[in-house]
Structure 1
């Protein structure tokens, strides 16, 4: 592995960059993330997410009224393909089971896996990417509080099928032991979409292999199909998720003065490492001294 050195002209580069962020410069200097600090941040963040999500008053009557309004809006916008797609999924048990377990598990598994990958392999952009995810999640909690929304599967008179309940999938909110610990009216915005898009963008921005980058982009597409097919979200909820992610990126830029996947100016040049060059140009071979 080739040794990497921090840039020596950081101050001049900062001046050329223009806006340098709202945080003090000392807080924006590059330093390798420490695993126990990041683990603590994630644990506290998830605890706050769980407490905040479930502490919001469910307000069932308001949430159902909002659900009817969203359904009407989607009918006006001709985005009402959800019901037919939901019925198709519900009529195909193996597909419904796959989507149900996708919905219940990958939301956390893939997000954690991408965070660990960034921490280990792309530490020069990890903090910026993590800040986007945290900001987006907090904005999502605010959305749950300000706009309680019933998901399609809980709306009467619209004939949506709750596939989690129909096939008794693990994690079904029809199970009283699960439902009593979860706010069922936290549908707007869809954090499933916000987190999936964050994962896709991170993989596209940071992966070297093209097929991995393509898979990263397909992941939020698959998530959209799942949340609609299982009647857990409207398409407009997904739009809300995309919006909070966009605002999360904007907040990170305002705080740091650079993009989430742009390393700080004093970060080592990781593009000089041998493993990066090998992925880009093929395996390197040691040079042979010439006589």
Structure 2
């Protein structure tokens, strides 16, 4: 066995303890508020770190524009360079662009906050896995932002219109410029974290209307980030892939493994037949 294996095993359990706020030692029972506050604090701290690192990253505009050219070249090779042609279909209609802006602004952080609070109060096991997936994918995303800054289509692609900045002021209320790195297009955590909320809802409930709403919100965000010139198609695909990786990585935590045994969970396997007598 590797010398570092015991330490890696212990680190994994400590990370789980931080996300789920599980007690590492026996002690008196704690109140619901005592359990709630640390869990919320962990997620809030992660969100602040996400914004703070993005804002403090010293991204070079020249490097970000060159990387954007590489992304566009890769899209051309894969026949995925759809951003300009897709935006031309909607940019001339103020009503449509207004709806897209609302989805981009209010369909991300407010949806994430409501979903996490609902999971925390009703489905704590799913909450633990979702929070772990957000932390894992967010850390990976920050590393990519720092190592490979990419300018979004609104700054790099000719003829693209930044509909969110030009037509809405609410975005800067939810995400002040001081906490924004405009060269963090790849991967799209707008897409990735919205997808995590959908995966969490699908794992937590069998209510059709909630499941349909979750899927609709994710699909609409996928389209919106491209139509508003904030992300390339490849950004969206990379964000979705990163979210899936974080979701399945979080399943390695003890709480994630326990989710597989929850009745009605999408992660549960087929019901076992009772042995014949």
Larger radius of gyration: 1
Structure with bigger RCO (C-alpha 8 Å, 6+ apart): 1
Q: Is the 8 A contact 1:190 1:237 kept in 2?
A: yes
Q: CA RMSD in A?
A: 3.0
Distance 1:96 1:193, change over 3 A: same
In structure 1, the partner of 2:47 is: 46
Structure 2: distance between partners of 1:51 and 1:229: 27
Structure 2: distance between partners of 1:172 and 1:153: 16
Q: Is the 8 A contact 1:125 1:260 kept in 2?
A: no
Q: Structure 1 residue 23 and structure 2 residue 13: aligned? A: yes
- Provide the secondary structure at the position in 2 that maps to 1:57: coil
- Provide the secondary structure at the position in 1 that maps to 2:161: coil
Q: Structure 2 length as normaliser, TM-score? A: 0.78
Distance 1:211 1:57, change over 3 A: same
Give CA deviations for 1:69-96 in whole Å, capped at 9, x if unaligned: 1112112211122211112221111111
| Residue segments in structure 2 that go unaligned for 5+ positions in a row | 1-8, 24-31, 265-277
Q: Structure 1 residue 205 and structure 2 residue 203: aligned? A: yes
Q: Is the 8 A contact 2:126 2:200 kept in 1?
A: no
Q: Structure 1 length as normaliser, TM-score? A: 0.74
Q: Is the 8 A contact 2:82 2:233 kept in 1?
A: no
Q: Number of aligned residue pairs: give it.
A: 243
| Residue segments in structure 1 that go unaligned for 5+ positions in a row | 1-18, 264-268, 272-291
Partner residue of 2:229 out of 222, 228, 231: 231
In structure 2, the partner of 1:162 is: 162
In structure 2, the partner of 1:98 is: 99
Structure 2: distance between partners of 1:23 and 1:74: 40
Give CA deviations for 1:97-123 in whole Å, capped at 9, x if unaligned: 111122122210111111011111112
Q: Is the 8 A contact 1:22 1:256 kept in 2?
A: no
